[in-house]
Every structure is written in C-alpha cells, then in structure tokens.
Chain A
Amino acid sequence: MFANIWQAVISGLSIGSIYALIAQGYYVTYITTSTLNFGQGEFLMIGAMIGLTAYVVLGVPFPLALLIAVVATGLMGIALERIAIRPVLRHVLTHSWVLSTLAISIILKNGAVSLWGPEQIRFPSPFGEEVLKIGNAGIFPQELFIIVCALGTVAAVQLFLKKSILGKAMMAVAHNRNAAAVMGIDVKRMVILAFMLSSALAGLGGILIAPVTFAWAYMGTVPGIKAFAAAIFGGLENPVGILIGGLLIGLLEQLFGVINSNLKEGITFLFILIMLAFRPTGLMGRRTVEKV
C-alpha cells in the first residue's frame, strides 16, 4: 500500500508541475490586465507542435527546438494581445476577452488539425525511455525533467518580476496602472510583455509534456482547464499559491486514483469546491477587506 502511495506521489508531482507551469501564465496576465488567456491550453499545443516539427521533422537539436517553440509562442502572445485583448479592452467593464481568447483557441485548434492531422503523434523524449527509480517508485527521465523545469521556471519568473528593472516595471503596472504611467512606464509595452511571457510559458509547457502525452491538436484542452483550476485554487494573485495549487491537484488526482479510479477527477474537483467555499480567494489568495 505504501509503495502505491509513494508511486502516486511521484506521478502526481510530475503531472501537477505541468499544471503549475501553465497556471503561471494565467497569473502573469491577470495581475497586469485583469484578463486571462482562455486559449492557454492551445498555446501549449502549438508549442508542442512547433517543437515536434523542429525536433522530429527537421532534426534540430532538442535545446534549439525548445527555444524555437518558446520564441514562436511568445510572438504569438504578442499577436494575441493585439487581436483579442486590446480591441475589446477599450471598454472598461467588458468581459469580451473571455470570448475573444476562446475564439483564438478554437481557431488554433482547427488550424492544428488541418496542419498536423487529428491523431496523436509520438514525440520521442531526448532523455530516453529508461525508467528511473526514486525509492521504489518508477519515473521516466522526461517526467523528472518536467518537475525540475517547472519549478525552475516558476522561480525564474519570480526572480524576473522581483529583481529585474523590466519585471519591476511590470509589477508596477500590476500594482497601479495610472501611477505607473505617470512614473513614465510604458503601460502598453508592459501589457504586451505580459502576454508574451504568458504564452511562452504555455509553449514551454507544451514541448515539455509532449513526450509524455503525445503531440496532437487536442492535447491542450484538459491541461488548460486543470491549470485554470490550479490558478483559482491556489489564488490567482499569488504565484507560490498557484505552484502549490498545481502540485496539489496533480497529487490529489493520483492519490484518489489509488482509492477509486472511477471517481478520481470528481473527488478532486469536489475537494476544490469545498475549499473554495471556505476560502473564496483561493488557498493563498489575499483576503481583502472592503470598507463600506
């Protein structure tokens, strides 16, 4: 029994770190513009497909393929901001970005089907298929790489936002848009940067998980939703909360799977529902006291 739980912990951490990585993308755009890209899962898919094309079809070395995928999805993030966010944000109270980002995601999915077909395609792991042992739990090298990369990326994003000039400027916009503008920060550019970063994170997630999930046009939908759950669960404005939220969802799924495979996702989301009833702003969300 203990062996099963330990295996579930290892598997859960690997799956959860993917959710955490994608969910960071939601955080970055939310704090700067109060919008989310609901096509985050499809940007992930595009990252995987571009990575696949570069790595498998064109034979580019893996690190370079990874870079190509990240840069390409980053650039797509700029286009996303221009096409789906900026035009609809002209009205202050609008929620049209929900629809416009969803529209982009549907277009991307359709485009991917016609470009790469509807079937799963194998993405060979650059680290091979030899099973590693942690205690008595097995893990593929790629899964270990995902955990390391996801945690590393989350830390790097934090470092960027807290320490670099550009990151500080972005945080300033997040904190108070008007004040930042008055201080000479180009708000528009910071917003573009936020979407670029968010999309690139999704693209990175895509090329990381493709060797585990296969690369295909519909690969992003479920991780996109689970990552959204992770972001809300952890607290949309708290990057550490999001990280924990992602890992926890992955863990819960696998642990409940050990108890009853029929109900694992149902119970996981029931758990989230109950938690939100007690902490509406998420696990580590700030509780703001509104003065009336």
Chain B
Amino acid sequence: MTVNNLVRAIRRVAVGSLLAAGVAVASLQGAIAAELKLGVDLSLTGGTDDFGRGARMGIEMAVKEYNAKGGYKGKPVELAIYDDETKPAKGVENLTRLITRDRVFAVIGPANSGVALAMIDIAQKQKMPLVVPLPTSEPIIGRYANEAKHYIFRVTLNDGIQTQFMIDYIKRKGLKRIGLMHDSTGWGQSGRETAVRLLKEAGIPLVAEPQVFDQNDTDMTAQLSKLRDANVEFIVSYSLAPAGVQIAKSMQKIGMKTPWSGTWGVLAPNFLKLGGKEAAEGVMGVTSYTIDHSDKAKAFHERVEAAYKDQGGDFFPVTTAQAYDAARLVLKALDKVGPDPVKVRDAIEAIDDFHEAVTKMHPRPFTKENHEALGADTGFLAVWRDGKVFRVTD
C-alpha cells in the first residue's frame, strides 16, 4: 500500500519533470527554428493552383540547393509552406500564422492577385518582407510605394508593362495594321486603354474598332471577321486562357491565320489543356522566361525536369523560374544580414550582385523607388510550339 503510493508519487514527479523538460526542449527548438524559417504561401488548390504548384517547385529547389551548400552559417533553412486555396481570407490567415507562430524571416507568395492584395496590408504593417513571385495586378506594389520602408517586392511582369512588349514586337517587325480584342471585365477594359495609349504614342493607330467579347463567349467569329475585313497584320488580345482558346478555335473555323499575342495568361498550361496542341500552335504571349532564352535557363529547365519528374516535370516553367529567383534573392539577403525580417528587407532592396538570375532580371533588381524586379527591358514575346513555350526570335 505505502510502497504503491510511493511508486505512484515518484512516477508522478518523473512524468512531471519529463514533461517540463520536453516543453523546454520544444521551446528551445522553436527558438532555433524561428531563426531560420522561410515562409511560403501559395495557391496549391483552387483557381490558380497551376501557378502555385509551379512556384513551389522553384522555391523548394532554391532552398535545397542553398542547404546543400551549407545553409546559413552551417544551419539549413526550413520551409513553412501553406496553401491559401486561392482564397484571400485564407492567405491573410496563413501570413499571420507565418509571422506569429512560425516566426519566419521573410515570406514568398502568393500566386494570385486577389490574394496578394489582401495580404500586403499585413506584411507592410507587421514589417515582414513579402516577395511576390507571380501576381500581376499593379496596386500590389503601388499601394505602399511611398512608405519610408516598403516591404513588398515583386518578381513578375505587372499588367501595365506587359502590353509594352507586344508594342515592341509590332515596332520591331514594322507592322502597321493592328487590331485589338479584349474581354469585358475590368481587367480587359484597362488593358484596352493601355494598348490604345501605347499604340498612339508609337504612331500606329488601330485600323478597326476594338472588339469586345464576354470571357465565357464560345464563338468569336463575328469579332474576328471584322478584324479580317480591316486586313489587320497583328492582333493584341486581353483574354484569359479559356477565352484565348476560343479565339484560336474561332480563327481555325474561319481559316484566319493572323498572328496574335495575349498577356502571359495564354502561356499557362491551362491553355494547352483546354485547347490542345493544335489550337495552341503559334499563339503568342508575354513572359520573362522561356526554357530556351538563355544558357542559365536551359540548365535550370533540365534540373527542374529531372527533380520533379513525378509532378509533371517543368510543367509551367515561368512560374518555377520566377519563384526560384525570388527565393534566391531572399536567401542572398539572409546571407548578408541574418534572419531578421527588417534587416532582410533592407538587404533585398540593396542587392546589386544578383548575376545568377534565370529570368531576365538585372543584377540590381530593386532600388528604394523601384520594387519591380522585372520591368521594361526584361520581358519578351514567347510562342507555343508543339505544346511548349519558346522565345520568339524574330
């Protein structure tokens, strides 16, 4: 009886102290881990999951290579990756969790403009550097551009700049008869305004009324016929992948072979999935990266193909490349100043020796005034050839 009680008491004490020790170890681990966690929020499910999954491969690859070279002062960097399901509220929740629970030193993400616009307020307020690898909406950078310390960085071509590359192509080729198509969403309308302005500045007027379509229209023959009647040589189009496929198919229907370019949405794998190789063939879009635009890009493409064979290989190359560059910028900043979010922000802004970029980024991607790593001279047109996206060379 008394022996039993004694045993029980000892057990209780033992368990108690073990628990306490466990908690102490756990919190110690927490403290160490908190110093070296890189946060990631992407849409791995939901509407823009292709973008998110492509980006995740790039980030994982960058961190893996970094850790293989010894990590930060011998310690490997850990990744905390969350899925926002393409929902703005979930993105905000994930970001808050990354800041307060995971205590990360920087965050890369998200993959969707709507989610990004919801997240930037918190990143700016909580002084957490947020490197946006894919969303193109202009206010993501514009909203806090005039703050003393701006915490949002972008590593993708924004909506406003994309049209410029189509105009550059038109000018280079000496094309004179340009047509314009756009969907009736706000995005399409603002694209039309940008295109009309830039064309006017370049002295190349539109030869037909801009043609409008609903983003769910299935037959664009009426619009295309009008452009054909005007003898257009090139069509600038603001269409997401589904409408873009319908444009391509309607062109097949009326036997129209006029070259046309969309923004980068028509280069997404979704375009190929919906239209098939035949409809995609020859369709152009804007990008900052193709698997053949430089030797570094070629080598990177082969590494991704090999490492992610089981996930479809390099299935959306530009997203993987941009996210890879984003992660490498953050890790470079970590090397310089250590895992402190505010210092990392300053370091990202000051990087001027980033020669290893796989996209067409400059060695000094950011300045205090400019938080867009990809801009006027870093984009180009790419084209679908046999189910893959290649650089337009002429």
A→B interface (CB under 8 Å): 1, 3-4, 7-8, 11, 14-15, 117-122, 124, 129, 131, 137-140, 212-214, 218-219, 222, 254-255, 257-258, 260-262, 264-265
Chain A residues within an 8 Å CB radius of B219: 11, 14-15, 254
Chain A residues, Cβ within 8 Å of B209: 260-262
Cβ contacts A to B, 25 pairs, < 8 Å: A3-B225, A4-B226, A7-B254, A11-B219, A11-B221, A11-B222, A14-B219, A122-B275, A122-B276, A129-B252, A129-B276, A129-B278, A129-B279, A138-B252, A138-B253, A139-B253, A140-B253, A214-B242, A218-B216, A254-B221, A255-B222, A258-B222, A260-B209, A261-B209, A261-B223
Pair count A-B, CB < 8 A: 81
In the complex, what residues of A have CB within 8 A of residue B253's CB?
Answer: 7, 11, 131, 138-140
- Check B274 for interface membership: any CB of A closer than 8 A: yes
Most chain-A Cβ atoms within 10 A of its Cβ — which of B46, B213, B253, B254?
B253
Q: Which residues of B contact A118 (CB under 8 A)?
A: 46-47
Q: Which of B222, B229, B242, B252 contacts A8 (CB 8 A)?
A: B222
Contact of B274 among A122, A140, A255, A264 (CB under 8 A): A122
Let me know if B12 is at the binding interface, CB within 8 A.
Answer: no
Select one of B216, B222, B255, B275 contacting A4, CB under 8 A.
Answer: B222
Q: Which of A119, A137, A138 contacts B270 (CB 8 A)?
A: A119
CB-CB under 8 A from A7, the residues of chain B are 221-222, 225, 253-254
Could you tell me if B225 and A214 are in contact, using CB atoms closer than 8 angstroms?
A: no
Judging by beta carbons under 8 Å apart, are B274 and A257 in contact? Answer: no
Interfacial residues, chain B to chain A (CB-CB below 8 A): 46-47, 209, 211-214, 216, 218-219, 221-223, 225-226, 229, 242, 249, 252-255, 270, 273-276, 278-279
Contact partner of B229 (CB less than 8 A), chosen from A4, A260, A262, A265, is: A4
Kindly list chain B residues whose C-beta atoms are within 8 Å of the C-beta of A218.
216
Q: In whole Å, how far is A19's beta carbon from the nearest beta carbon of chain B? A: 13
Of B214, B219, B254, most A-chain CB atoms within 10 Å = B219
Asked if residues A262 and B212 are in contact (CB atoms below 8 Å), the reply is yes
- Extra contacts, 14 of them, besides A121-B274, A131-B255, A254-B219 (Cβ < 8 A), are A1-B229, A4-B229, A7-B221, A7-B222, A7-B225, A15-B218, A120-B270, A120-B274, A131-B252, A137-B254, A255-B222, A257-B223, A258-B226, A265-B214
